[in-house]
Chain A
Amino acid sequence: MTSVFSVDRVSFQYPTGRRAALSDISLEVPSGELFAILGPNGSGKSTLLQVMLGELSGAKGAVEFMGQPIQRWSRRAIAAQVAFVPQGEPMAFPLTVRQLVEMGRFPHVGILGRTGPEDRAAVDRAMERAGVQELADRVISTLSGGERQRARIARALAQEPSTMVLDEPTAALDLHYEMETFELMRGLAADSGFTVVLATHNLNLAARYSSKLVLLADGRIQATGRPESVLTDETLEKVYRWPVVVAPHPGPGPDAGSPQVLPLRKQT
C-alpha cells in the first residue's frame, strides 16, 4: 500500500507559543482512502494540516507528499495534486459561484494561459458533483453557509486533484448537508486512487465513513488505526475529559456496527 502523505517525527512550535503545538507526530495517509483527523479544540488538527500542506514551515521532522519533501514542491505543481477546502473565507468583494469555482483551474492554466473548453468542462463537472450548478450565477454573499461550503468543495474539485484535504468541512452545516458532504467525500474516496483527508469534530460520522483515523490531544497522537480500535471509551474519556459510552451503530446501512460515541450526563 502506497502512502500519499508521510509524516515522520514532526514537531512544531509557533514563535509565540509557550509549548509545542505538535510533538513527535508520525503518520502515513494511505492512498485511495478516507482519512480522518480527530481531537479536541486546540489539539493541533489545523496545525497538522498546515504542516502537511507546506503552509507552515519551520517544523522539525519530515513531511513528504507522494514521495517528495513537501517544501520542494512548487506551488502550482502541488495545487494540481492537492486541493484544500478551508473552514470558511470572508468575501471582501462580490463574486459568483462560477467565478469562485473557475479559480480552481489556476494550477492548470497558470498566470497567462488561456482557459480552454477542457477547463470549462472541468468547472461544469465540479459544480455538478458538488451540487451547485443551480447556484452558478448567484453571488457568494447571498448563499447560506451550507451552499458556500459546497461552492468551496466545487472549487477544490475543479482543481482535478488526486487528494482533497478539508478542515472541519461540516462545522456549520445541518444534518442534511453534513450527511451529503460525507457521502460526497466517501464517493470521491471510492474513485480509484483518490484520497480524502479531513479534520473533524464529528466522531460518529468519522467512525462511519473513514477507513483510518488518528486522534490527537495536546499535539500528540493518542491513538491511530481503524475506527473500532481508536474510538474506545477508555481513550475518549482520557482525551475529552468526559465520560462516554461507545456502542455499535444499530444499522441498517453499510456501516452497521461501527463504533458510535455517546457522551454521558453528569450524575446529580
Chain B
Amino acid sequence: MIVRLLFFGLALIVAAVVALMVGDVEFPVREFLLAFRGEADPATQTIVIGLRLPRVLLATLVGGGLAVSGAVFQALLRNPLAEPYVLGVSSGAALGAVIAIVFGLTIGSVIALPLFAFGGALLAMFLVLFMAGGRGRGMDTRVLLLSGVVIAAFFNAFLLLVINFANVETFREAVLWIMGSFVGASWEGVITLSVYLIPAFLGLVLLARPLNLLAVGEKSAFHLGVDVRRFKLILYVVTSLVVGICVAGAGAIGFVGLVVPHALRLIGGSDHRWLLPASAIAGALLLVVADTIARTILAPAELPVGVVTAIIGVPLFLWLLLKSEETR
C-alpha cells in the first residue's frame, strides 16, 4: 500500500515538473531551475512561479478533492457511479459561486465565494438524496442518476439566469465555472483552497474505517457499532464542503471523482484507508496531466479542462452503467 502511494506520488511530481516546463513559452532547463531560486530573468520568473506553479498546485488540490469526494459519495450511496458532477452537486456549487461573483460578493473572496459554493453543493446534495428516497428506502441506481441529471439541469438553468444579470467581464468569468478551467489560477486561490481542503481531507481519511463499514451497508454498519446517522451527516457535509471549495477554485470539472476511485479499486481494493489517500494523489495526477493537455494541445488556444476529463470519463461511465445493469 505504501509502495503504491509512493509510486503515485512520484508520478505526480514528474507530471508537475513537466507541466511547469511545457507551454506556449519554452525555455532552457537551466533558466527553469534558476526560477525556483528567484534568479531567472523576469519573464521566466513570472511565467514559472507566478503563472504555471499556482496553476499546477490548483490542479493538484482540485483533482485530489474531487477524486476523494467521488470515493466518499460512492461509499455512502453504495454506488460506483456516484460522483459530484454526475449527482449535480458540482452544478449546485457552481450556481453558488456564480451568485457570489455576479452580485459582487468577491470582496471577501476567501470566505464569501467558497461559502456560497459550499451552500450550493450542500443544497444540491440534499435535494438529490431527498428525490432518490434517502430515508432508509433502497436507492435505485436509475433513480439516483435521474435525480442527479434533473438537479444539474435545474441548477444550470438558474446559473444561466443569474449570468444574464452580469456584465460582459463577469460573464466571461462565470462561463469558466460551467466548463471548469484553471485559467484564473493565482497564489491567492491556492492558499484559499489549501486552508479548507487540507483539514477536510485529513478529517475524511481519519473516518476511513467507519466509511468501510458504511460501504457494506447501513444496517451492517449500525450493528457493527457505527453511529450511522451521525457519521452520514458528517461525511455528507464535509464532502459537500470539499466539492464546493473545488468548484469555487476551478469550476465544475466532471468525472474525476468517477475515473480515479474506480481505477484505484481495481489496483488496490476497496479499503478506504488506502483508497482515500490514493484518490487524493491520483486525482491530482489526473488533473495536472489533463490541464497540461488542455492548455498545450491547441496552443496558443486553450481547451476547458472539463472537456478533457469528460472525454476520458464518459466512456468509462457508460461502461460501468452497462455493467451495473447486467449484474442487477
Contacts and interface: CB of A to CB of B under 8 A. Distances in A.
A231 interface: no
A120 interface: no
A94 B265 contact: yes
28 contacts: A53-B223, A55-B222, A55-B223, A74-B227, A75-B222, A75-B226, A75-B227, A80-B225, A83-B223, A84-B220, A86-B219, A90-B78, A93-B74, A93-B75, A93-B80, A96-B269, A99-B269, A99-B271, A103-B216, A103-B220, A103-B224, A106-B209, A106-B210, A106-B225, A107-B224, A111-B207, A112-B209, A159-B224
Contacts of A86: 217, 219-220, 223
A99 B208 CA distance: 14
B225 A75 contact: yes
Contacts of A77: 225
A226 B71 CA distance: 51
Contacts of A90: 78, 217
Interface of A: 53, 55, 74-80, 82-84, 86, 89-96, 99-100, 103-104, 106-107, 109, 111-112, 155, 159
Contacts of B106: none
Contacts of B271: 99
B170 interface: no
A149 B270 CA distance: 21
B194 interface: no
A91 B224 contact: no
A162 B226 CA distance: 19
B289 to A, nearest CB: 26
B226 A106 contact: yes
Contacts of A159: 224
Contacts of B219: 55, 86, 89
Given A89-B216, A111-B209, A111-B210, A76 B78 contact: no
Report, nearest first, the 6 A-B pairs whose CB atoms are least far apart.
A79-B225, A84-B223, A92-B78, A107-B225, A93-B270, A76-B225
Contacts of A53: 223
B215 interface: yes
A92 B79 contact: yes
B13 interface: no
A79 B228 CA distance: 13
A263 B271 CA distance: 48
Contacts of A84: 220, 223
A230 B78 CA distance: 42
B206 interface: yes
Contact of A92 (B206, B215, B224, B226): B215
B212 interface: yes
A103 B217 contact: no
Given A92-B215, A99-B271, A106 B220 contact: no
A260 to B, nearest CB: 33
B113 interface: no
A144 B75 CA distance: 24
Interface in B234-292: 265, 269-271
Nearest to B216: A89
B212 A94 contact: no
Interface string B67-94: 0000000110011100000000000000
Nearest to A76: B225
A82 B222 CA distance: 12
A86 B217 CA distance: 10
A91 B215 CA distance: 8
A93 B265 contact: yes
Nearest to B209: A111
Contacts of B79: 92
Which of B74, B215, B219 gathers most chain A CB within 10 Å? B219
Contact of B212 (A82, A92, A103): A103
A103 B80 contact: no
A112 B212 CA distance: 13
B101 interface: no
Contacts of A96: 269
Contacts of B75: 93
Contacts of A55: 219, 222-223
Nearest to B213: A103
Given A103-B213, A111-B206, A112-B206, A89 B223 contact: no
Interface string B184-221: 00000000000000000000001101101101110110
Nearest to A139: B269
A159 B79 CA distance: 27
Given A93-B80, A99-B271, A106 B217 contact: no
Contacts of A100: 216
A159 B206 CA distance: 22
B220 A89 contact: yes
Nearest to B269: A94
A209 B220 CA distance: 26
Given A86-B220, A106-B225, A112-B206, 19 more contacts: A55-B222, A55-B223, A75-B225, A75-B226, A77-B225, A82-B223, A89-B220, A90-B217, A92-B74, A93-B75, A93-B78, A93-B80, A94-B265, A95-B216, A103-B212, A104-B224, A106-B226, A107-B224, A111-B207
